[in-house]
Amino acid sequence: MSLWLALAVSYLLGAIPMSWLVGRIGGVDLRAHGSGNLGATNLYRVLGWRFAIPAGLFDVGKGALPTLVLPARVGTADWLPLAVGAAAIVGHVFSVFVRFRGGKGVATAAGVVLALAPIPLLASAVVWGAVLKTTGYVSLASMLGAVAFPFAALGLGAANPYVVPVGAALAAFILYTHRANIRRLLAGTENRFGRRREA
């Protein structure tokens, strides 16, 4: 398999808009409800847990699966799993199937790093959970959890030497995808976790 084919396959897998598809099963176009974001958090707010959990797990899986499977078919370079995983994240955020409007990349990025550095990811998840419990903001928890990951990978170690710099780049990317949330946090208008909007 060529590198470009592996990247294309990973991108297309990442681009599957599962939250949008599950929302359609529930009778709504998620882009027109809640925050308009095609992610599991917005799906939860609109339709509840029984819709959001499978969509969220799928988003994690579409980051982990290509990262684990495809690089070995291309070569042995340490950067290959990160490149393939990044393609899945880009696919999720800029999905060709929904006019390049997708989710914010957190769950898919978690799947990528789950495949490569599960212990640092666990430390990042502890930060995520603590921030969510303290503040009630999923967006803030996601951003701080993403920022914590490269530090956790640096402190706890990761087998792949590219995990720390790529983790830092992912954190910056996730901050970028949450720029609207940052504005709402500063304005005091961000939604807290647990509040659902009925479609």
CB neighbours of residue 99 within 10 Å: 9
Q: What is the pLDDT of residue 22?
A: 93
Residue 174 lies in a domain: yes
Mind listing the pLDDT tens digit for each residue in 114-150?
Answer: 999 999 999 999 999 999 999 999 999 999 999 999 9
Given a contact cutoff of 8 angstroms between Cβ atoms, the answer to whether 153 and 109 are in contact is no
Alpha-carbon gap, residue 78 to 153, rounded angstroms: 16
- Rounded Cα distance, 5 and 7, in Å: 5
Residue 194 lies in a domain: no
In a domain, 197, yes or no: no
Q: What is the pLDDT of residue 199?
A: 42
List phi, psi (to 5°) of 150: -60, -30
Three-state DSSP at 160 gives coil
Domain contains 66: yes
Number of domains in the chain: 1
pLDDT in tens, 175-195: 999 999 999 999 998 888 765
User: What range defines the domain where residue 152 resides?
Assistant: 3-187
Assess contact for 36 and 30: CB atoms under 8 A: yes
Output the DSSP codes for 152-164: HHHHH--SSTTHH
As a whole number of angstroms, the distance between CA 39 and CA 25 comes to 15
Query: How far is 37 from 101, CA to CA, in rounded Å?
Result: 8
Whole-prediction pTM value? 0.88
Q: Specify whether the CB–CB gap between 142 and 104 falls below 8 A.
A: yes
State pLDDT tens for residues 61-115.
999 999 999 999 999 999 999 999 999 999 999 999 998 988 999 999 999 999 9
Q: Which two tokens stand for residue 22?
A: 């599950």
* Tokens representing residue 142 in the block: 């996601």
Asked whether residue 195 is domain-assigned, the answer is no
User: 25: which 2 tokens?
Assistant: 């099963």
- The answer to whether residue 14 sits within a structural domain is yes
**Does 5 score more than 60 pLDDT?**
yes
pLDDT in tens, 18-71: 999 999 998 998 888 877 788 888 898 888 889 999 999 999 999 999 999 999
Q: Which of 152, 153, 144 is nearest to 182 (CA)?
A: 144
Task: Name the DSSP class of 117.
Answer: -
Is 54 inside a domain boundary? yes
A 10 A CB-CB count for 136 gives 15
Q: Is residue 169 classed as helix, strand or coil in its secondary structure?
A: helix
In a domain, 122, yes or no: yes
